[in-house]
Structure 1
Amino acid sequence: MRAQKLSQYVVPVGVIMIIIMMVVPLPPLLLDLLIALNITFALLVLLVSMYVKRPLDFSVFPSLLLVATLFRLALNISATRLVLLDGFAGKVIDAFGHFVVGGSLVVGLVIFLILIVIQFLVITKGAERVAEVGARFTLDAMPGKQMAIDADLNAGLIDEAEARRRRGEVAAEADFYGAMDGASKFVKGDAIAAIVITIVNLVGGFIIGMVQKGMAPGDAVNHYSLLSVGDGLVSQIPALLMSVATGLIVTRSATEGDLGGTVAGQLGAHKRALQIGGAAVLALCLIPGLPKLPFILVGGLVLGVASRLKAPAAEVTEEAGPTEPTPAEVTEALITEMRVDPLELALAPDLIDLVDTGDLLDRVRALRRKVALELGIVMPPVRTRDDLDLPLSSYAVRISGVDAGSGHAPPGTVLAIGEGLGNLPGRAGTEPVFGLAGKWIPAELSYQAELSGATVVDRASVVITHLAEVVRANASRLLGREDVRALTEMVKRTHPVVVEELTPALLSHGQIQKVLQSLLEEGVAIRDLVRIFEALSLRAKVSTDHDGLVEAARGALGPAIANAQADNGVLSVLTLDPQLEQIMLESVRPVESGAFLALDANTAEAVVASTTRLAEAAEQQGHTPVLACSPPLRAPLYRLLRSGGRNQIVLSYPELAGAPARIETMGVVNGVYAGIA
């Protein structure tokens, strides 16, 4: 813990000390120590850049490059101060000025200029260009990478945590290459500053030597020039190391390994190339006038290395023949192909642009959140794929491999809904959810269609709206046993007593699933699981009859169920004739699959026909009525109407009692005739 706290202060304190170095004179001994530290630091950065597996593993490199450049410039300023004031800047600079360049001013200047050219024109210029292109390509590729992550998430290949991690990597990669594009300018500026500082040292030392120290011109030039060149070499060696490290970082590809291992592995994978290269080097010995020994040694070494390498994988495979997959691999592949996706969106080949260039996947993700907040279930991941068997411009929504809805969305068009579209080109179409007539017109004519009073809907909106309707209509089929377990665990985290009392002591997950599916089948949201579980716990202590459990849950949700059917605070209701209701109550027969009405065929048909006529008459007046009845009759009456082709919402009297809306009676259902109230 102490080491971690100390590390938090090292860099800030170091940067402050670097600034102080530019102002406060340093003794020669301390300058020697800091020069050695500078060279060591640059060498360590170079080695680390070779051993990192990915550039992002050394993401702090741009900041280190700035600090190292600042440190090196501070050393140059300190050395210049000592050279001009004392004519001596420490033993390290003196050694570089005399021993390394042999005490020759010309040799020192030549070596210094060569280092500057190598660093500035070769390494720095190339690294700067690679960093600029890398930053541009990384930013251009970000949308595609984000879409690929969203596609994997929506297909269920990865979870939300993995998707966040990948998005973080994409953003970090863009930030890194953008930072490297700017950091490479530091190296370029450092090389220019080194030239300027060396020229200043040469001119300033010559003037100080002659004017202040009374030295002869030759002695002044020789003494101060060697120190200036020594200072330049001392600063350019770590600068060159940092430039090489910059080039290595920005030129690394996406290989999972360090530089040395990658180079050895990839060169060693081409044994034949090494053999040909070694033989070519040996052949150079045949040229008259060339020395034989160097080429024999190098060529023999290359051939020796090639002889110790294993045969490339491609050659081994070619000699051994194609390898057959193992039974385990075949079984795993078959199991993967057999797996049926709970929810699938199949697109014709010409509709793939909705995924590649559109925002379809973003809308699917938004739909999952909307369904969760609306119905209280976690919509399964939507596997979006192309299907060559589909007709062009069509799509299909499938639940457990079975088509649950289909439609058309021709490329380059939008759906215009309304009248007055006869003068616009296109082909007739239908809005898949509400069945509204429209026309698929070219996208560039959207403005003209809107001027004519039509509603214009883009293709992605049509597909998503259709998908949402299919999900709502089949929510009960999409709620699996594993989903129920996950929802139960969610409730347990906040209300552990409720869950522990209910399951597994009273009801199993399977029984809870059937209750929740029945609620969803009638359009009842199951978001309030705490209230549902509490009601089930009380009812299960008396009986585990399925209809009874469902009615108990509906009773707990009664106000919410009734309020969801209200329109502007008014709940339109159809009621049953009292005599008919009594007859129906006496005909209720409980069975294992749920209670039903044992009515004669004529009465059952009359009830369905009467309900249909009353509901349609109310709908013509702008109301969507619900049918009210006593609790024991609600479930079997709903089944009767549904079997007769009427998807009528049926509520019990207790559910209406808690409704905050005003109740308005729209009619009375009679088994013989229909009477409008």
Structure 2
Amino acid sequence: MATNTLDLKQIFTPSNIRQLAAPILLLLVLSMMVLPLPAFLLDLFFTFNIALSMVVLLVAMYTRKPLDFSIFPTVLLVTTLLRLSLNVASTRVVLIDGHKGGDAAGKVIEAFGHFLVGGNTAVGVVVFVILTVINFVVITKGAGRIAEVGARFTLDAMPGKQMAIDADLNAGLIDDAEAKRRRSEIANEADFYGAMDGASKFVRGDAVAGIMILLINIVGGLIIGVVQHDMDIGRATHVYTLLSIGDGLVAQIPALIISVAAGLVVSRVGDDVDVGAQFVNQLFTNPQIMVMTAGILGLLGLIPGMPNLVFLTLAGAMGYLAWWQSQRRETEVKEPVKPAAEVVATAAEMEASWTDVTPVDVLGLEVGYRLIPMVDKAQNGELLSRIRGLRKKFAQEIGFLAAPVHIRDNLELRPNLYRITLKGVEIGQGEAFPGQFMAINPGRVVGRLPGNETKDPAFGLPAVWVDSALRDQAHALGYTVVDASTVVATHINHVILSHASDLLGRQETQALLDHIAKDSPKLVEDLVPKALPLHVVQKTLQYLLEEGVNIRDMRSIVETLAEFAPRTQDAVELAAHVRTALGRAIVQGLFPGSADMQVIALDPGLERLLLQAMQGSSADSATIEPGLAETLLRDTAAAAQRQEDAGQPAVLLVPNALRWLLSRFLRRSVPSLKVIAHSEVPETRTIRVTGVIGG
């Protein structure tokens, strides 16, 4: 027995009882639809229904934010089911025992049928219809509309909220646990409004069912009373109509209360205080409004024939409330004089500080709101992983780790527009259409595609945005087809590669040297700061990056700088020496394998003219005569185009003294042209001149 007692105690714990409460309640509600209930139990359940509706209303009043009452959609379903079950049970009792008198269906129904409407069937019908109309047309419809719009706007705002959480997390303002909690709260908020939108349909259906049950009870009771119980039509109509009205009112009044509670929950704005506090604070705290209201009521109270006592009493109450609020405000304004030290401290707190200065992101990506799903971690945005892969690929190919790309939404941009920024300045922009594909024309397509014609933002090739259904057709016609995330990622990759020199700051240079020092500490120690200052090393590396030379071989670069640092500290000259040391890698990148180097060369006469222009000036300050410069640009562009048409890289081979001058001069006009010096060509490579400039 002791063992059995212990088992029962373990079973009927408070937590288990709470878990069983909901299933037991639902079973009782469903059983009321099929099992006959005595009048006393009907009174008990009707009273419980009214009490439950009041509890729900008060909870809704004192709820600070909707998610504090997240069970409300389920409560709506359960209370609606409870009312319908009571309607079924009461209908059974009314039709079976209604001929016995007004209390046949219980004291509650009798009270609502007699005392609330004075036993007048016409008044009862009117009151019931009015309550039903208020519930169905006004409150329930309005609450349902608010829930529908709230769900829609909550879902639309989710990506922006998720990005704000990611931004706070990346900035270190919150930790992973807080970010996870906020994301869960946002998802629950969207689910809540969606559930409320659906649950409001239960209440509207309940109102319709109440009208139909009232009519069925009246007609059915009239037939049963006259046919089965030999009642005259007048008495049967009076008895069953009163019982039906009492039954309808005892169900519709709790339904009306529940509908009001639903409206209060979904119409809440702000989550700092409950509805009652908001109501008082925002309606009755302005003395000017109270004075004006009291004045209007006082004027109405002085008009002959008006209920003067009522109007003047309310005017006096409003006037007293206005005086009390004004006195309260004056008391709040009068503060004790602060000590001088405290005043100084307060002023110091209000002063601007360095924490108010927000640093500019080195690399930034701003997106319109339709592109937010592409960069939203919660929605598995593909672009995030692609950008991480781009940074890793950049570090492997170029030789240093670039700054991270900070992503944010920008509502000022067009919905499908994105913008790439470098140190706060735009360096690229384009449009992307999630769900569609960009079909890029590489120059050999055999047909056209329907869609939005555009250009590839990275390389300027003609392209067209097409629906996913045309993807296979685009492949068949010779197009290169990529999705929206790939388009943006490729554009970002192209931009950061072309601005690699701008991404190498002193901090990145120092980090790069520290990384090399892990394997060769003595080599780096002898270079910086003993032989060269950090800014000279940085400038030298930037010159290399400007011309597309990667700095992966930092060991060779550092050794070369250490060798020539005692002779010069000019970054241009040092970059030239480094290029010579990296010549094999430079040539290998332009002409893979061991094939002949097909290059463009200068006419000897042109070389002499340019060398004469270089005499007496440095590579940075040398200039070219305007007429000669125009001819040089035109002939070089033509020669480079011929090389590219022949399938060869456009490479200009020049003497060492001219390489920097011509590279800087031709870089903007002929961006595809690479200028290399004779000293950069390994002795093992064979040179074949395929074009001459100035000949």
**Fold shared, TM-score > 0.5 on shorter chain:** yes
Change beyond 3 A, Cα 1:4–1:99 = same
Is 1:340 matched up with 2:344?
A: no
Instruction: Quote the Cα distance in structure 2 between the aligned partners of 1:94 and 1:617.
Output: 103
Pairwise CA distance, 1:183: 1.3
Instruction: Quote the Cα distance in structure 2 between the aligned partners of 1:206 and 1:100.
Output: 22
- Supply the AA of the counterpart residue of 2:429: A
Pairwise CA distance, 1:186: 0.9
Instruction: Quote the Cα distance in structure 2 between the aligned partners of 1:394 and 1:84.
Output: 73
Contact 1:476 1:517 in 2 (8 A): no
2:276 to 251, 255, 260: 260
Is 1:107 matched up with 2:77?
A: no
Pairwise CA distance, 1:238: 0.7
Deviations 1:381-437 (A, max 9, x none): 727599x9xxxx985423xx9x9xx7333679999896799xxxx999995xxxxxx
Is 1:239 matched up with 2:255?
A: yes
Q: How does 1:371-410 map to 2 (within 5 A)?
A: 382=406, 396-398=421-423, 407-409=427-429
- Supply the AA of the counterpart residue of 2:406: V
Pairwise CA distance, 1:54: 1.5
Pairwise CA distance, 1:463: 5.2
Pairwise CA distance, 1:43: 0.6
Which residue in 2 is equivalent to 1:37? 48
Instruction: Quote the Cα distance in structure 2 between the aligned partners of 1:140 and 1:621.
Output: 52
Instruction: Quote the Cα distance in structure 2 between the aligned partners of 1:105 and 1:453.
Output: 79
Instruction: Quote the Cα distance in structure 2 between the aligned partners of 1:266 and 1:195.
Output: 38
Is 1:12 matched up with 2:23?
A: yes
Change beyond 3 A, Cα 1:444–1:210 = closer
Q: Percent identity?
A: 39
Which residue in 1 is equivalent to 2:244? 228
Contact 1:132 1:181 in 2 (8 A): yes
Contact 1:278 1:302 in 2 (8 A): yes
Change beyond 3 A, Cα 1:410–1:284 = same
Instruction: Quote the Cα distance in structure 1 between the aligned partners of 2:422 and 2:269.
Output: 40
Change beyond 3 A, Cα 1:65–1:415 = closer
Is 1:358 matched up with 2:366?
A: no
Pairwise CA distance, 1:84: 1.7
SS at match of 1:382: strand
Which residue in 2 is equivalent to 1:327? 347
Deviations 1:72-108 (A, max 9, x none): 1101111111122223122222222233333333332
2:184 to 139, 164, 168: 168
Which residue in 1 is equivalent to 2:264? 248
Instruction: Quote the Cα distance in structure 2 between the aligned partners of 1:86 and 1:457.
Output: 73
Q: Which runs of 5+ in 1 are unaligned?
A: 318-322, 347-351, 432-437, 481-512, 523-535, 549-583, 625-643, 646-669
- Supply the AA of the counterpart residue of 1:220: A
Pairwise CA distance, 1:221: 2.6
Contact 1:610 1:673 in 2 (8 A): no
Contact 1:209 1:215 in 2 (8 A): yes
Q: How does 1:353-502 map to 2 (within 5 A)?
A: 354-359=367-372, 361-362=375-376, 365-366=384-385, 369-370=388-389, 382=406, 396-398=421-423, 407-409=427-429, 438-439=459-460, 460-461=488-489, 464-465=492-493
- Supply the AA of the counterpart residue of 2:78: V
Which residue in 2 is equivalent to 1:47? 58
Deviations 1:441-468 (A, max 9, x none): 7977999x99797899987435532576
- Supply the AA of the counterpart residue of 2:592: G
Instruction: Quote the Cα distance in structure 1 between the aligned partners of 2:483 and 2:47.
Output: 70
Change beyond 3 A, Cα 1:607–1:313 = same
Q: Aligned-residue CA RMSD in angstroms?
A: 5.3
Which residue in 2 is equivalent to 1:282? 298
Pairwise CA distance, 1:49: 1.0
Is 1:615 matched up with 2:585?
A: yes
- Supply the AA of the counterpart residue of 1:336: T
SS at match of 1:24: coil
Instruction: Quote the Cα distance in structure 1 between the aligned partners of 2:206 and 2:218.
Output: 18
Contact 2:419 2:430 in 1 (8 A): yes
Contact 1:138 1:173 in 2 (8 A): yes
Change beyond 3 A, Cα 1:415–1:186 = closer
SS at match of 2:82: helix
Pairwise CA distance, 1:45: 0.5
Instruction: Quote the Cα distance in structure 1 between the aligned partners of 2:583 and 2:402.
Output: 37
Pairwise CA distance, 1:168: 2.9
- Supply the AA of the counterpart residue of 2:106: G
Contact 1:94 1:227 in 2 (8 A): yes
Q: How does 1:453-602 map to 2 (within 5 A)?
A: 460-461=488-489, 464-465=492-493, 517-518=512-513
Contact 2:210 2:248 in 1 (8 A): yes
Instruction: Quote the Cα distance in structure 2 between the aligned partners of 1:605 and 1:182.
Output: 70
Instruction: Quote the Cα distance in structure 2 between the aligned partners of 1:163 and 1:302.
Output: 48
Is 1:86 matched up with 2:106?
A: no
Instruction: Quote the Cα distance in structure 2 between the aligned partners of 1:184 and 1:109.
Output: 25
Change beyond 3 A, Cα 1:371–1:471 = farther
Contact 2:583 2:681 in 1 (8 A): no
Pairwise CA distance, 1:544: 8.9
Change beyond 3 A, Cα 1:268–1:221 = closer
TM-score, with length taken from structure 2: 0.60
Which residue in 1 is equivalent to 2:75? 64
Instruction: Quote the Cα distance in structure 1 between the aligned partners of 2:500 and 2:177.
Output: 27
Change beyond 3 A, Cα 1:139–1:324 = farther
Pairwise CA distance, 1:254: 3.0
SS at match of 1:409: strand
Change beyond 3 A, Cα 1:372–1:293 = same
Q: Which runs of 5+ in 2 are unaligned?
A: 1-9, 99-103, 334-342, 377-381, 413-417, 446-452, 526-554, 569-573, 595-658, 661-678, 687-695
TM-score, with length taken from structure 1: 0.62
